[in-house]
Amino acid sequence: MRENVGARGLIFNEPLIFDISREGRDGASIPDGVGLPEKKIESLLPKGSLRDDIEGFPSLSEVDVVRHFTRLSQWNYGLDGGFYPLGSCTMKYNPKINEDMASLPALNNLHPYAPEGLAQGALRIMYELSDYLAEISGLAKVSLQPSAGAQGEFAGILIIKNYFESIGEKRHKIIVPDSAHGTNPASSALCGYQVIEVKSGSDGLIDPAEIEKHMDDDVAAIMLTNPNTLGLFESQILKITEIIHKKGGLVYMDGANLNALMGIVKPADMGVDIMHFNLHKTFSTPHGGGGPGSGPVGVTKKIAPFLPTPVIVENNGNYSFQYGNKDSIGRLRAFYGNFGVMVKAYVYIRSMGGDGLKKASETAVVNANYIKEKLKGIYHLPYDRECMHECVFSDKIQGENDVSTLDIAKAIIDRGFHPPTIYFPLIVHGAIMMEPTETEGKETLDSFIEALKDIAAKAKEDPGSLKASPEKPKVGRLDETQAARNPKLRWRAGQKDG
Amino acid sequence: MRYIPNTDSIVEEMLGEIGVDSVRALLRPIPDSLILDKPLDLPSAMSESDIVKHMAKITSLAGIHLSFLGGGYYDHLIPAAVKHIIGRSEFYTAYTPYQPEISQGTLQAIYEFQTMICQLTGMELANASMYDGASALAEAAIMAVRISKKKEIILPENIHPEYRETVKTYCRFLDIVIKEIPVGSDGRIDVKVLKENISADTAAVAVQNPNFFGVVEGLEEISAVIKDAGALFIGVVVEPVSLGILKPPGDFGADIVVGEGQAFGNPMNFGGPGVGFFASRDKYMRQMPGRLIGQTVDKNGKRGYVLTLSTREQHIRREKATSNICSNQSLCALAAAVHLSLLGKGGLKKVALLNLRLADYAKEKLGSVKGCKLRFSSQIFNEFVVELPIPAEEFSRRLLLEKNIVGGLPLGRFFKGMEKSLLVTLTEKISKEDIDTLTESLNGLLNGGGGQ
């Protein structure tokens, strides 16, 4: 057996930044304003608006600050440090050249209201990136404005709402399968749609007959994910989208799982009218501990006029923003989106090329099937068939010894890996959802598989020992009940902890 | 391919162990008719060195120029240390901290961010971040409607125009009425107009301070009008450096304070990513959108942090969630926390004061150029509107072409009747000499050179 990759290192304790503050210290170099006239501050501001103090705000030197946050960073598990098989999250390697190109001073220092003549490079990157996403999805037009997947969904649902309004139809419902991400029903609700939850079939797939039953003139759209959140390709997708289209509905695809499809299938060919992309999943941009992401939304030609404003147009190699499209849903945020994230995705696509993207998807599928085959039988596999880029197990076998998915996840930590996504999708009791991505080599997968086998063995021999994990991180299992019951969401002066 | 460790022969080996003979066999569930029969029409793969050259080439036009742009995004000095901290891959390559034991770095840092936002805004609690200031304002409007069970939101026209547009997009299908009210000739909210428009049906009034024209509002009086009508007061802070010197909305009884934190630690990046912030009162804790990080203990009693109160969120409540937000702007919030820590209490005040003094000096200089005048006489923080004798768009084009200066933001695109108005912004990156240069250039362009 390979050596367990989880080992120990020196971990520092570090108080809250407010507790290491010392009045009078400063950590930033600020110009003196040489030559400016000396005036009383009070004379420059309206009466009663001058602030006297920022209570509790820290004062530190640069050294203090750097050491503080460096120590904090060491308590994090990052993708650069190890395997991160979070299902539905596509934690693929974040190429370093992307970071370098996104921090070019010419882009970092570009103001959103810079004259278009100065912004040609940025506009070109955005224009070309939307074109690439259109080609990958088969859709006609893509807007890069949404800040993350959920905002992309919101944009998509708004487009649906506006489209039906434009043709004088009032539809009130959206069909969402029970395996969907929570953002799907939440985004639908933001537009006042009633959510019709449709049960998945016993094979884990959407049953066209079930859709047929719910589809009528009051259903605006279906929101589906393909491959679905079980990692299974919806084989009946053509039938499903046909049922929707026949009754005048639209098909929205959650693009969270696009990493299974690049260069293999185009969503538009499946009958998808609208989808969002997650640049922070499929297109290798880092997750940053929870963001920033970027969630472009793509549409067919018919509904392209509804895209958010502004759109970028090209004329003889000259790029500009176009405002004032009367059918547009409007804007979702200030300016044009998370541009810095777009640059990284752009560089990624240019680095990979079309063939590289296809290879990425194919390898992601091979890696997921490899894990699935190797762990099948050791962990319960509720849907035993070819998977796409991820596979979903459950804790059914280990549950016989009172070992839960949570215990398994925490035991994985002690063995040096980030746990898979747990308890999602909701339709699998005790789900353990693994997405290896294409950026992991066979050796990594093998050592992960070994670790999972070891945990399964422990679950039989000494289940109690798993309850103690994780033991290697800085803190053990945290009391989430107390956190919610007695919420402490900020530091306050006089409060000393840790 | 350098990002895919499994070579063709390793893939062969793995397929063998899976028990299939080809990748296509694994794709069996996909109908044949859907499988692409030709490669994606994308540019072919580029080497790292070619990418570097390509990017240098297409971004070369951006050039170096003196710029006085603001209006929602600000070019502040970012200490070198910020980039080094957020460049630590333990931070930037981590996922959302769903596994708290191995995410304490992100969790504690964002808990510190939440605290700093509370301190800056004078509020009781803050969330882990929103996409940006505009969408945060939209979420605040929705939250205010949820709390008050009333349907009307008042937005004075001196709130950033793109923020108002965003609120309208978000609220359009939620049966919320957005009432935009005109502002006074001094650029501030006209209390009389506000009184005429506010009523028992008003859920909330949003007040941006300093407002889009850079003018400092009289929050005490406005707050009293809002409270008298029984509406909620949403404070909006688009230029948060101002909080180093201005009394925060929280001190005037704001119920919700939202804004944009880009000014701290995040370069302009053509408009994103920055970081929206969202602060409120303890009594509204369970109505908050977005993630909240809370302090707790581990099984050994050791202090630690977790995502908490998640029953408000989409992954638990689904269509009944307080918002659909999932990913936020965590790394940008971290950048803001690092920058704020470096500035510290004294530094923040010092930088805010410098912005104020620079703007005051620029206001006097530009206001005294022949043919120009200040649009509003009111006191400002770090930006102000100057009225030119010619259309501001045309002036800006000439100033850039002839002097390589971006003089400010022409406001005609946002407001009818302001075609000759230019919003001029000053930050600590600008020196007195830069302001003198702008003044001379302005004078030269408008009056053919010579004295003022």
Residues of B with CB below 8 A from A118's CB?
61-63, 65, 400, 406
Q: Is B10 in Cβ contact with A354 (below 8 Å)?
A: no
Q: Is B306 in Cβ contact with A50 (below 8 Å)?
A: no
Residues of A with CB below 8 A from B271's CB?
112, 334-337, 339
Interface test with B, best of A333, A479, A488 (most B CBs within 10 A): A333
Share of chain A above pLDDT 90, in %: 94
pLDDT in tens, A261-286: 999 999 999 999 999 999 999 999 99
For residues A234-259, average pLDDT:
98
Residue A181 reports pLDDT greater than 60 = yes
Cβ burial of B33 (10 Å; 0-12, 13-18, 19+) is: exposed
User: Residue B360 belongs to what domain range?
Assistant: 66-75+349-447
Q: What percent helix, strand, coil does chain A show, rounded to 5?
A: 40, 10, 50
Give a yes or no: residue B57 inside a domain: no
Residue A14 reports pLDDT greater than 60 = yes
Same domain, residue pair B71 and B106: no
Give a yes or no: residue A487 inside a domain: no
Cβ burial of B286 (10 Å; 0-12, 13-18, 19+) is: exposed
Q: Of the residues B304, B339, B374, which one is the last residue of a structural domain?
A: B339
* Cβ proximity of A323 and A308 under 8 Å: no
Q: What does the alpha-carbon distance between residue A460 and residue A463 come to, in Å, rounded to a whole number? A: 6
Q: What is the dihedral of CA A109, A114, A120, A126, to 10 degrees?
A: 80
The partner residue sitting opposite A45, judged by closest CB among B73, B340, B379, is B379
* Cβ proximity of A421 and B99 under 8 Å: no
Residues of B with CB below 8 A from A277's CB?
none
Give a yes or no: residue B175 inside a domain: yes
Residues of A with CB below 8 A from B351's CB?
28, 30
Asked whether the bond before B273 is cis by omega within 30 degrees of 0, the reply is: yes
Same domain, residue pair B333 and B394: no
* Cβ proximity of B423 and B383 under 8 Å: yes
H or E, element range at A176: strand A173-177
Q: Is B273 in Cβ contact with A147 (below 8 Å)?
A: yes
Same domain, residue pair A150 and A235: yes
Q: What does the alpha-carbon distance between residue B40 and residue B18 come to, in Å, rounded to a whole number? A: 28
Same domain, residue pair A150 and A211: yes
Among B262, B295, B401, B408, residue whose Cα is nearest residue A114: B408
Q: What is the pLDDT of residue A9?
A: 80
Residue A2 reports pLDDT greater than 70 = no
H or E, element range at A311: strand A311-315
Residue A123 reports pLDDT greater than 70 = yes
Q: Is A352 in Cβ contact with B45 (below 8 Å)?
A: yes
Q: What is the pLDDT of residue B452?
A: 44
pLDDT in tens, A374-400: 999 999 999 999 999 999 999 999 999
Residue A497 reports pLDDT greater than 70 = no
B78: left (phi over 0), alpha (psi -120 to 50) or beta: beta
The partner residue sitting opposite B341, judged by closest CB among A58, A292, A347, is A58
Same domain, residue pair B193 and B120: yes
Q: How far is CA A285 from each of CA A217, A349, B80, B420, rounded to the nearest angstrom?
A: 40, 11, 23, 42
* Cβ proximity of A349 and A277 under 8 Å: no
Give a yes or no: residue B8 inside a domain: no
Residues of B with CB below 8 A from A33's CB?
354, 357-358, 432
Distance from CA of B448 to the nearest CA of A (A): 24
For residues B115-119, average pLDDT:
98
Interface test with A, best of B58, B305, B324 (most A CBs within 10 A): B324
Same domain, residue pair A141 and A65: no
When pLDDT is cut at 50, 70 and 90, the band that residue B234 belongs to is very high
A115 Cβ contact partners less than 8 Å away, ≥ 6 residues apart? B396, B397, B400, B406
Q: Is A424 in Cβ contact with B26 (below 8 Å)?
A: no
Same domain, residue pair A157 and A223: yes
Interface test with A, best of B15, B33, B131, B275 (most A CBs within 10 A): B131
* Cβ proximity of A232 and A263 under 8 Å: no
Give a yes or no: residue B25 inside a domain: no
Q: Is A354 in Cβ contact with B44 (below 8 Å)?
A: yes
More confident residue, A325 or B150: B150
Give a yes or no: residue B51 inside a domain: no
* Cβ proximity of B79 and B339 under 8 Å: yes
Interface test with A, best of B58, B64, B341, B416 (most A CBs within 10 A): B341
The partner residue sitting opposite B271, judged by closest CB among A44, A339, A482, is A339
Same domain, residue pair B288 and B178: yes
Average pLDDT over chain B reads: 96
B179 Cβ contact partners less than 8 Å away, ≥ 6 residues apart? B152, B153, B154, B155, B197
Residue A217 reports pLDDT greater than 90 = yes
Same domain, residue pair B180 and B94: yes
Q: What does the alpha-carbon distance between residue B262 and residue B206 come to, in Å, rounded to a whole number? A: 20
Give a yes or no: residue A82 inside a domain: no
Give a yes or no: residue B397 inside a domain: yes
End-to-end CA distance of chain A: 39
Q: What does the alpha-carbon distance between residue A270 and residue A292 come to, in Å, rounded to a whole number? A: 30
Q: Of the residues B287, B317, B339, which one is the last residue of a structural domain?
A: B339
Same domain, residue pair A152 and A9: no
pLDDT in tens, B179-211: 999 999 999 999 999 999 999 999 999 999 999
Residues of A with CB below 8 A from B218's CB?
46, 49
Share of chain B above pLDDT 70, in %: 98
- ipTM surpasses cut 0.85: yes
Tally of CB atoms within 10 A around A29: 11
Residues of A with CB below 8 A from B61's CB?
117-118, 120-121
Q: What does the alpha-carbon distance between residue A52 and residue B133 come to, in Å, rounded to a whole number? A: 26
Give a yes or no: residue A491 inside a domain: no
Q: What is the pLDDT of residue B63?
A: 66
- Domains identified in chain B, total number: 2
A vs B, Cβ pairs < 8 A, gives 684
Same domain, residue pair A53 and A117: no
Structure tokens at A22: 């010392």
Q: What percent helix, strand, coil does chain B show, rounded to 5?
A: 45, 15, 40
Instruction: Please list the residues that pair with B259 across neighbouring strands.
Output: B237, B277
Give a yes or no: residue B14 inside a domain: no
Same domain, residue pair B91 and B124: yes
When pLDDT is cut at 50, 70 and 90, the band that residue B318 belongs to is confident
Tally of CB atoms within 10 A around B242: 25
For residues B354-380, average pLDDT:
97
Give a yes or no: residue A214 inside a domain: yes
Distance from CA of A247 to the nearest CA of B (A): 23
Q: How far is CA B381 from each of CA A176, B117, B355, B386, rounded to the nearest angstrom?
A: 49, 20, 7, 14
CATH number at residue B431: 3.90.1150.10
Same domain, residue pair B241 and B219: yes
Same domain, residue pair B241 and B390: no
Q: Is A125 in Cβ contact with B92 (below 8 Å)?
A: no
Q: How far is CA B79 from each of CA A58, A60, B82, B340, B343, rounded to the nearest angstrom?
A: 17, 14, 6, 10, 9
Q: What does the alpha-carbon distance between residue B232 and residue A258 come to, in Å, rounded to a whole number? A: 43
Q: Of the residues A12, A40, A75, which one is the last residue of a structural domain?
A: A75
Q: What is the pLDDT of residue A498?
A: 43
CA A79 to chain centre: 14
The partner residue sitting opposite B166, judged by closest CB among A101, A263, A331, is A331
- Which sign, positive or negative, has the C-alpha torsion B117, B121, B124, B129? negative
Q: What does the alpha-carbon distance between residue B200 and residue B208 come to, in Å, rounded to a whole number? A: 22
Same domain, residue pair B156 and B123: yes
Share of chain A above pLDDT 70, in %: 99
Chain A residue whose CA is closest to B127: A489
pLDDT in tens, B44-92: 999 999 999 999 999 986 667 899 999 999 999 999 999 999 999 999 9
pLDDT in tens, B396-429: 999 999 999 999 999 999 999 999 999 999 999 9
Same domain, residue pair A276 and A410: no
* Cβ proximity of B153 and B159 under 8 Å: no
Same domain, residue pair B201 and B188: yes
Q: Is B106 in Cβ contact with A81 (below 8 Å)?
A: no
Asked whether the bond before A112 is cis by omega within 30 degrees of 0, the reply is: no
Residue B101 reports pLDDT greater than 90 = yes
- Domains identified in chain A, total number: 3
Q: What does the alpha-carbon distance between residue A20 and residue A67 come to, in Å, rounded to a whole number? A: 11
Tally of CB atoms within 10 A around B410: 23
CATH number at residue A438: 3.90.1150.10
- Which sign, positive or negative, has the C-alpha torsion A401, A403, A408, A413? negative
Whether pTM > 0.90 for this model: the answer is yes
Residue B393 reports pLDDT greater than 60 = yes
* Cβ proximity of B375 and B422 under 8 Å: no
Structure tokens at B30: 């996909």
Tally of CB atoms within 10 A around A143: 29
* Cβ proximity of B374 and B384 under 8 Å: yes
Among A360, A468, A348, A356, residue whose Cα is nearest residue A406: A468
For residues B323-341, average pLDDT:
95
Same domain, residue pair A333 and A377: no
User: Residue A453 belongs to what domain range?
Assistant: 361-482
Q: What is the pLDDT of residue A127?
A: 98
Instruction: Please list the residues that pair with B278 across neighbouring strands.
Output: B258
Among A115, A113, A319, A116, residue whose Cα is nearest residue B396: A115
Give a yes or no: residue A80 inside a domain: no
Same domain, residue pair A332 and A424: no
CATH number at residue A268: 3.40.640.10
The DSSP annotation for B191-227 comes to: HHHHHHH--TTEEEEEEESS-TTSBPP-HHHHHHHHH
Q: Is A119 in Cβ contact with B272 (below 8 Å)?
A: no
Give a yes or no: residue B305 inside a domain: yes
Residue B28 reports pLDDT greater than 50 = yes
pLDDT in tens, A16-44: 999 999 999 999 999 999 999 999 999 99
Q: Of the residues B287, B312, B339, which one is the last residue of a structural domain?
A: B339
Distance from CA of B157 to the nearest CA of A (A): 16
Q: Is A45 in Cβ contact with B216 (below 8 Å)?
A: yes
The β-bridge relationship of strands B232-237 and B405-406 is: unpaired
DSSP-derived 3-state class of residue B44? coil
Same domain, residue pair A303 and A413: no
Same domain, residue pair A104 and A219: yes
Same domain, residue pair B288 and B176: yes
Chain A residue whose CA is closest to B364: A37
Residue A292 reports pLDDT greater than 90 = yes
Same domain, residue pair B249 and B275: yes
Q: In the β-sheet with A431-434, what is the strand arrangement from edge to edge?
A: A391-394, A431-434, A421-422
Q: Is A288 in Cβ contact with B260 (below 8 Å)?
A: no
The partner residue sitting opposite B104, judged by closest CB among A46, A75, A413, is A75
Q: How far is CA A263 from each of CA A240, A359, A388, B23, B194, rounded to the nearest angstrom?
A: 22, 8, 14, 13, 57
When pLDDT is cut at 50, 70 and 90, the band that residue B451 belongs to is very low
- Which sign, positive or negative, has the C-alpha torsion A45, A50, A54, A59? positive
CATH number at residue B171: 3.40.640.10
Structure tokens at A289: 């501990």
Longest dimension (CA), chain B: 86
Give a yes or no: residue A367 inside a domain: yes
Give a yes or no: residue A93 inside a domain: no
Least confident of A286-300, B63-77, B82-96, B125-139: B63-77
Distance from CA of B95 to the nearest CA of A (A): 4
Residues of A with CB below 8 A from B95's CB?
79, 84, 86, 89, 91, 287, 289-290, 418
Q: What does the alpha-carbon distance between residue A32 and residue A85 come to, in Å, rounded to a whole number? A: 50
Look-up of token digits 């009523």? B199
Same domain, residue pair A294 and A387: no
